[in-house]
Amino acid sequence: MRYRLFFSQLSSIRVTYSGLIAFIIGIISVFTGLVFVLIVTRQLSPEEFGTWSILGSMLSYFLISERVISYWTTRQIARGEDVGKTSVISSITFSFGAIPFYLILVYYVSAQSNANLEPMLLATILLPIYFISQTLFGINTGHKPHATSYSLLVFEVFKIPVALLLVFWLDLGINGAITTVIIAYLLRISIQFYFAKPKIKEKFNFQILRRWLKFSWIPIYSHIEKTIRTVDVLLYTLITGSVIGVAYYTASLTVAMVVSHSALITQALYPKLLARGSYALIRENFILLMFFSIPLLGIAVIFAKPALFALNPLYDEASLIVIILSFRTFVQILGGTFGKILRGIEKVDVEKNPTFSSLTKSYLFFLPTVYNIQYGLYLAILVPLLFFLVSVQTSEIEIITWWAIIGLVIEIPVVIFLAIKVKKETNFSFPIRNTVKYLFSTLAFVTVFFLTSPHIIIYHQSIYDFMPTVIIQLVICVGVYIGITYLIDEKTRILFKSILKELKQ
């Protein structure tokens, strides 16, 4: 019966369709998100922006208890089990239990740094909101992956007018930015709930929750690496006693994260593999990933200085940091995709009561172990280096550069290792010919950029005079890439035909 449920899901999850919707909306959200970030970075001082960055990192630590819910929810919903109502009610309960621990951390961090206490207290409201949103995300990922993209689009678009009102016109500063996110998330939750509603009809099932709690060590263990990955921001603040460096790092990461939107093309691959989709989907989806991720990496690298200047001219000296973080993001995308594949093909939890031994031998345990070792080593190198660089009075830009380099280097061996594992399990073959074509096309528009940008991009202090020149240059680069790949790559021509077919339907 369980296997029939697997196959019943195959027709309901369309990998390329959901991936393209996610990517297109992701690209739209790049521009809408950029407008929001421009409003925030131009209106907030570096100290306020640093506090804003720390808040995002701190709030993510407490999502570890929610992970117990959404982790199993996605896997069970993708396999045809209705556990939605149990997920939502459990998430709300867990969120209120996390609030006291968040408040303790808030008072400690504000006492040890120059971070402002008031906005950190206001952000407490975001905890239950984040919990509910993440749980609904888990439900929708299991049965309608593209629904998560629609809610993201509404969230990103709605933030702009609210931010203009609260941050720009009313000049409420960081409190206005936090309030903007609260309001936008409430709207996002309403969209998520609309799509998740068919999966929230069943009664609350305490037996399901008890099973999740029994096996909670798996999602908690897997979430440790995400906490370790983000704790570096907090450690930097505590070691240096300053949030200025965090502001530079976050501004650079904001630009570099443009590359991460290419990973949206793979969002439906995980639930499809859970529903026993064909391994042939892996290579096809990976080709699409390369088609989008390589040019986005090129764009992030060559537009590093213009993008930072747009965020705030104060940050434009951090261009090298953007380049390093862009390559790190690209490598993380590859590693994340390989990890998604290995978790998707793992079937150990199909059994009603899998043994502890079988779980520890599965990829559900193996992958978090690899990541925990990886990021544990990352912190073991980073922390003493930060103490040393601070002791010799190194400039903040140099410290952040070393921070970015360590992050990049630590990612590479793990990605290679996971690629070998995926090849062994699925007979995956890396699409070398397609990748070379996309690299060639990217190098072509990079060349065009260096030949034309001195005549097009003019660094005006006014954002209204500066941004149109950047957009013109960006359109030229994208046009060159699409034109060349369409001419030399059959997969690109098929992709565009598929898009036109979907639009006609």
According to the model, what pLDDT value does residue 17 have?
A: 58
Taking the model in full, what pTM does it have? 0.78
Task: Print the SS3 string covering 444-472.
Answer: HHHHHHHHHHHHHCCCCCCHHHHHHHHHH
Angle between helix 463-488 and helix 304-311 axes, rounded to 10 deg = 150
CA-to-CA distance for 461 and 444, rounded, in angstroms? Answer: 30
DSSP state of 204: P
Q: Which amino acid is at 356?
A: F
CB contact at 8 A, 216 and 68: yes
CB atoms within 10 A of CB 77: 25
Separation of CA 390 from chain center: 30
**What is the Cα gyration radius of the chain?**
23
Per DSSP, helices labelled H in 62-83 are: 64-78
Residues 141 and 19: beta-carbon distance below 8 Å:
no
The residue assigned the tokens 């979907």 is: 502
Query: Low-confidence residues of the chain, pLDDT below 70?
Result: 1-23, 26-27, 30, 276-278, 499, 502-505
Distance from C-alpha of 327 to C-alpha of 282, rounded to nearest angstrom: 23
Which residue in this structure is represented by tokens 């808030």? 106
pLDDT score for 460: 83
3-state helix, strand, coil in the chain (%, to 5): 85, 0, 15
Q: Could you identify the residue written with the tokens 């007979």?
A: 427
Task: Give whole-number Cα distances, 297 to 166, 258, 326, 331, in Å.
Answer: 33, 8, 6, 10
pLDDT at 272: 78
Task: Evaluate the CA torsion angle 237, 241, 245, 246 in order and state its sign.
Answer: positive
How many other CB atoms are there within 10 angstroms of residue 30's CB atom? 16
Q: Spell out the SS3 assignment of 370-403.
A: HHHHHHHHHHHHHHHHHHHHHHCCCCHHHHHHHH
User: What contacts 24+ positions apart, CB below 8 Å, involve 496-501?
Assistant: 498/16, 499/20
Give the SS3 label for residue 303: coil
Scanning the structure block, which residue is given the tokens 């195959």? 10
Is residue 56 within 8 Å of residue 175, measured between CB atoms? no
pLDDT the model gives residue 496 = 79
Which of 53-63 are b and which e, b meaning 16 or more Cβ less than 10 Å from the residue's Cβ? bbbebbbbbbb
The full set of domain ranges for the chain reads 13-430
Gap between the Cα atoms of 358 and 366, Å rounded: 11
pLDDT at 4: 40
Q: What is the pLDDT of residue 416?
A: 95
Residues 6+ apart with CB under 8 A from 438: 290, 291, 294, 295, 485, 489
Q: Number of C-alpha atoms within 13 angstroms, CB side, residue 279?
A: 12
Q: Is 353 exposed, middle or buried (0-12, 13-18, 19+ CB in 10 A)?
A: exposed
Per DSSP, helices labelled H in 125-243 are 126-143, 145-163, 173-196, 206-214, 217-240
Contact 220, 199 (CB under 8 A): no
State residue 5's pLDDT score.
39
Give buried/exposed letters for 252-277 (b at 16+ CB in 10 A, else e): bbbbbbbbbbbbbbbbbbbbbbbbbb
Q: What is the C-alpha to C-alpha distance for residues 242 and 53, in angstroms, rounded to an integer?
A: 12
Query: Residue 163 has which token pair?
Result: 């931010």
Tokens of 67: 């992970």
